[in-house]
Structure 1
Amino acid sequence: MHIMFVCTGNICRSPMGELLLTRYLSGTTVQVSSAGTHGLPMHQIDPNSALLMESVGIEPSGFRSRRLTQPMAKSADLILCFEKDQRKDIVTLAPTAVKYTFLLGDFANMCEYCARNGLVKGLTIQERLQSVINSASIIRPMLPEPEDIEDPHGKEYAKFRTAAEQTNKALRTILTSMRKHYRVEEAPVRPQITRQRARRSTP
């Protein structure tokens, strides 16, 4: 399975999603990547996002951004984005991706709903995630409207920390829901996004 995170520039939110989920799924065959609808090719991760990743022991220096293309979108099995407008851009670029493109928080809610209602099927995490994707159109009307995770680009460090915390919370919900014996109080070992002094972004 190939999971792709998509934001706008692929330097703030989607890199954090990629790096965090890669850490969580270490040892599995799930491939994790990211891109931006208006990505800046080969750009480094934003210094504030990098600082947050370093605070949980993730080395971000090798990350380089990419601009989303139609072949990239078609190569994914699950696309997780951060804003409603991004989802529109993705499915405009690759219409067939509409079936597997979700806001991150919305997909987390779907996973939790499926886990609570015995709709998660399969033995591997790939099969279990796919079972949620397959059920999405049926369960979507029963869930609250998804909320965007605000773009922190060019804003104060606190906005980056909020985006990281929201991303991490959604990922924990997804992975907890994929456990064979679902218990809402359980969660995988997770990085704690800590308060650290912001780096100044380079112009």
Structure 2
Amino acid sequence: MPGFLRADGPVTGFEVLFVCTGNLHRSPVAERLLAAALPEPDFRVRSAGTEARPVPLDSVTRAIVDELGGYVREFTARRLDVGQIERADLVLGLERCHREAAVRLCPLALRRCFTLREFVRLMDGAGTGAGTRRDAVRLAASRRGVVVPAPGESDGIDDPVGAAPDVHRARALEVRDAVLTLAGILGR
């Protein structure tokens, strides 16, 4: 069962991994906003990118995260790897290609991999019967094929790379809205 380690030994916690392409905009925004919304000691949030290089966040993303209430501190983009997926209880891509990349790296994680919007959509109307956070993940996986799929790419949030700051902010607001709903689901 996924969990994480602390300096003083193993801890049974719950870890969420957000995945985007460069780990420079969407997934760090999601990581920092969910961590701010659920700052429990047994809850860990990470992010990674399918094509990430180890570079810091740009000033636009930093300012947006700060404005939206996320904790801005040292951040260096991380490339997605198998170990991150194996440790995560829930893997959330910002687009379908990110979810698929995680599953290709770790096929056994299929039932824990969704897009952020897909997970929220699958849990809509599921009620409070999800129990634990891991139960919520299992419930969302069981609802695939039962809940009507989203058309086209509406389960994804577009990459703002190379766009003007107002586009970055608009994408960050889309991430924030989904993350706030996710926090409600995981915080039950």
- Normalised to the residue count of structure 2, the TM-score between the two structures is 0.83
Deviations 1:58-86 (A, max 9, x none): 44241111101111111111111111111
Question: Is contact 1:7-1:86 (8 Å) kept?
Answer: yes
Aligned to 1:201: none
1:49-60 to structure 2, matched below 5 A, reads: 49-60=61-72
Evaluate the alpha carbon distance shift between residue 133 and residue 58 of structure 1 in structure 2; reply closer, same or farther with a 3 A threshold.
closer
- Given candidates 22, 30, 43, the residue that maps to 1:9 is 22
SS at match of 1:11: coil
Q: Percent identity?
A: 29
In the TM superposition, residue 50 of structure 1 has moved relative to its aligned partner by 0.9
Question: Is contact 2:33-2:69 (8 Å) kept?
Answer: no
**Structure 2: unaligned runs, 5 residues or longer:** 1-13
Aligned to 1:133: 137
Aligned to 1:166: 174
1:53-202 to structure 2, matched below 5 A, reads: 53-115=65-127, 118-121=128-131, 127=132, 129-141=133-145, 142-145=147-150, 146-178=154-186, 180=188
Hey, what's the Cα distance between the residues in 2 that align with 1:58 and 1:86? 23
Aligned to 2:11: none
Question: Is contact 2:29-2:70 (8 Å) kept?
Answer: no
SS at match of 1:135: helix
Evaluate the alpha carbon distance shift between residue 158 and residue 22 of structure 1 in structure 2; reply closer, same or farther with a 3 A threshold.
same
Structure with more strand by fraction: 2
**Residue identity matched to 1:32:** V
SS at match of 1:72: helix
Give the CA RMSD over aligned residues.
Answer: 1.7
Evaluate the alpha carbon distance shift between residue 175 and residue 111 of structure 1 in structure 2; reply closer, same or farther with a 3 A threshold.
farther
In the TM superposition, residue 178 of structure 1 has moved relative to its aligned partner by 4.5
- Normalised to the residue count of structure 1, the TM-score between the two structures is 0.77
Hey, what's the Cα distance between the residues in 2 that align with 1:61 and 1:137? 34
Deviations 1:6-39 (A, max 9, x none): 1001011111011101111113410111111111
In the TM superposition, residue 110 of structure 1 has moved relative to its aligned partner by 2.1
**Residue identity matched to 2:163:** K
In the TM superposition, residue 179 of structure 1 has moved relative to its aligned partner by 5.6
Alignment length (residue pairs): 171
